[in-house]
Amino acid sequence: MSGMNPSNVQIGEEERTIEVTPEPIPRERPAEAPVEAPQPDRVPAGV
């Protein structure tokens, strides 16, 4: 019957060992400063 004798809890025979390792959270690279778009050479009006 369920819940009757939890002090005799069994999880069965050991089968293998695994390692689960924490890893650093990947960080986004900091945004680079915006680069100004090159301005076209000004052309005098009327040319």
Partner 1 sequence: MAEIVRRPVLLGDDLWVDAVVGYRAWHVTIDRGVATMTAAVAKEWVWPKASPLKACCTPLEPIGRYLAARIGDHPAPRSGCKCGIWAFDSPDKVAEVFHDRVYLLGEVALWGKIKVHRLGYRAEYAQPIAVYEPSGTWPGRFWEAARIQASIVARQYEVPLVQRPAPEIILP
Q: Of 4-12, 29-37, 39-47, which segment contacts partner 1 by CB under 8 A?
A: 4-12
Q: How far apart are the first and last CA of the chain?
A: 98
- For residue 45 the two structure tokens come to 């009006």
* Other Cβ atoms closer than 10 A to 46: 4
Please, which residue, 23 or 32, has the CB nearer to partner 1? 23
Please, which residue, 6 or 34, has the CB nearer to partner 1? 6
Please, which residue, 25 or 47, has the CB nearer to partner 1? 25
With H, G, I as helix, E, B as strand and everything else as coil, classify residue 8: helix
Residues interacting with partner 1, by CB under 8 A?
Answer: 2-3, 6-7, 9-25
